[in-house]
């Protein structure tokens, strides 16, 4: 029986070596975390989301692929370098909800790539995000564990802030990924690559 919808998003995937470095950081945070029930991202789930599409009817996937292909085929979309580093949290260290690692490098090219995808998919009825694009790699999500436990977790994360570089990557493609929610974390499946 065919699924009624596909949960998907457009992202930049990371090289395996960079994912492994970030996984080592997660392992260190897990040990320091001492069971605060942070939902840590699995190795295959570390990526830089450019546009979350949500639940999409399967018959719409071909037009999404065609639209993104056209958008990324423009001459101004070229390969660029990013640096991965600096551990951070949303919204702040006193009450962390999302633990992430930031990206730096050619942010102008990254923003141009994200805007091209956003604009193209808006033409298919996917509304633009309400918030400005804030490029980051999510490492973990913090459940409601109470103010005091969140504050202690914030202090642990602060101890890791000295680690400011985890490597770099050459971005020469975006990917359309499917995300299936499971009890032990999302399962990701590559649907399409878009080289540029």
Of 36, 47, 51, 86, which residue is the catalytic one?
47
Asked, for residue 151, whether it belongs to a domain, the answer is yes
Looking at the structure of the chain, the number of domains it has is: 1
Asked, for residue 138, whether it belongs to a domain, the answer is yes
Asked, for residue 44, whether it belongs to a domain, the answer is yes
Which of 46-55, 96-105, 107-116, 156-165 is the least confident region? Answer: 156-165
Q: How confident is the model at residue 37 (pLDDT cuts 50, 70, 90)?
A: confident
E strand intervals along the chain: 6-13, 39-40, 47-56, 80-90, 98-105, 136-141, 167-171, 173-180, 187-195
Higher model confidence: residue 33 or residue 178? 178
3-state secondary structure at position 76: coil
**CATH code of residue 111:** 3.90.1140.10
Residue 93 annotated among the catalytic residues of the structure: no
The residue segments making up the domain with residue 126 are: 6-195
Between CA 135 and CA 63 the distance in angstroms is 26
Asked, for residue 67, whether it belongs to a domain, the answer is yes
Mean pLDDT of 42-55: 94
Asked, for residue 158, whether it belongs to a domain, the answer is yes
Q: How many CB atoms lie within 10 A of CB 111?
A: 13
Mean pLDDT of 179-185: 81
Cα 8 → chain centroid: 12
Asked, for residue 1, whether it belongs to a domain, the answer is no
Mean pLDDT of 65-87: 95
Of 36, 51, 136, 150, which residue is the catalytic one?
136
pTM: 0.90
Asked, for residue 45, whether it belongs to a domain, the answer is yes
Residue 136 annotated among the catalytic residues of the structure: yes
């Amino acid at each position: 029986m065919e699924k009624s919808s596909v949960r998907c998003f457009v992202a930049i995937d990371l090289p395996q070596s960079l994912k492994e470095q970030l996984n080592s950081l997660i392992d260190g945070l897990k040990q320091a975390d001492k069971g605060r029930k942070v939902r840590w991202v699995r190795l295959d789930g570390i990526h830089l989301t450019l546009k979350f599409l949500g639940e999409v009817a399967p018959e719409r996937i071909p037009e999404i692929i065609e639209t993104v292909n056209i958008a990324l085929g423009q001459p101004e979309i070229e390969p660029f370098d990013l640096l991965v580093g600096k551990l951070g949290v949303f919204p702040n260290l006193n009450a962390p909800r999302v633990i992430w690692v930031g990206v730096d490098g050619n942010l102008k090219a990254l923003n141009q790539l994200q805007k091209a995808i956003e604009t193209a998919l808006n033409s298919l009825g996917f509304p633009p995000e309400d918030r400005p694009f804030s490029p980051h790699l999510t490492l973990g999500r913090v459940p409601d564990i109470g103010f005091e436990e969140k504050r202690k977790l914030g202090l642990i994360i602060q101890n890791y802030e000295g680690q400011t570089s985890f490597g770099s990557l050459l971005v020469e493609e975006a990917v359309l990924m499917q995300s299936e929610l499971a009890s032990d974390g999302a399962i990701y499946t590559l649907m399409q690559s878009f080289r540029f």
